[in-house]
Amino acid sequence: MDREDERSLVARLRAADGEAFDDVYDAYRARVFAFLLRMCRSRPLAEDLLNETWLRLVRHARTLRDDTRIGPWLFTVARNLYWSHRRTSLVEEASAPEILGLWPSTPAWPSPFDLAAAGELEQRIEVALSMLQPQYREALLLVVNQGLTPSEAAVVCGIKADAMRQRLSRARAALAERLNLPDGQPANTRYGT
Amino acid sequence: MNHDNPARDPVFAAIAKLRPHDVGAHRADRLRSRCHGVLEQQRRRSVERRFARMSLRRAVVPAIASAWCAAYVCEILLRAAAIYGF
């Protein structure tokens, strides 16, 4: 989607145009969901946060600026919702430890079913990604998996572009470590892909 | 080291090629119609607001213009009366 198309889409969204919403929804729903799923590691939670992300878009459509980049805007909302949920759940866990264990925990992701459907390298990457620190995970997902530029991802995460590049590099090293790869060694030498 | 360039890094290439995920069709459609509902509500509210603004303009502008005209006519009559000694 080039800048002009995006501007006209934003203008139509501001006018509460349903077709413009459909275009954005079809282009970004799966991408935002995949990002949330890998961040939350829980499908029900990712689905809830996805709902909230899209509802926020339509509720705030009138206040979008002309130059709003829709993709980064959606990822920013999704990311903030994830972090907000994470903070709340950490507070709840800390303040009510007696409740822990009474409720079934959210199912872990990737589930055995997801893993069975994936190839060997993909399995290893999914598991290694899911074990990374969330800051590293989001950097890799936004830039490498979702194709945002490091500058766009930096805006999404509320940090400077240089900090994002540094974070990416560290995330890559941490992932290589989880995959038992020396930093910089091609993955295919070990996993035969 | 080639991981500064995501396009040439094999680990990055593997992450880029991870399986896509999406919600089920039923859930996706439900969310779509919910969002359409919110958009429709906003469209209706915005039309109502525009109409209210227009109605206000329709009532206030003629009232101000009439008051100004009445004051102008009164002033002219008073001055005419003063000239002719009434």
- Supply the ipTM of this predicted assembly: 0.77
Gyration radius of chain B's alpha carbons: 35
More confident residue, A117 or A87: A87
More confident residue, A101 or B47: B47
Low-confidence ranges of chain B (pLDDT < 50): 1-3
Q: Considering only A152-156, A162-166, B14-18, which range has the smallest mean pLDDT?
A: B14-18
pTM (two decimals)? 0.76
Using a CB-CB cut-off of 8 Å, the residues of chain B touching A140 are 12, 15
Q: How far is B82 from chain A (nearest CA, A)?
A: 59
Across the interface, of B17, B23, B46, the residue whose CB is closest to A16 is B46
Task: Determine the pLDDT at residue A118.
Answer: 64
Q: Considering only A1-5, A76-80, A111-115, A156-160, which range has the smallest mean pLDDT?
A: A111-115
Kindly determine whether residue A169 and residue B21, on different chains, have CB atoms separated by under 8 Å.
Answer: no
The phi, psi pair for A159, rounded to 5°, reads -130, 175
Kindly determine whether residue B39 and residue A147, on different chains, have CB atoms separated by under 8 Å.
Answer: no
Instruction: Tell me the residue type at B52.
Output: A
Evaluated on CA atoms A126, A131, A132, A134, the torsion sign reads positive
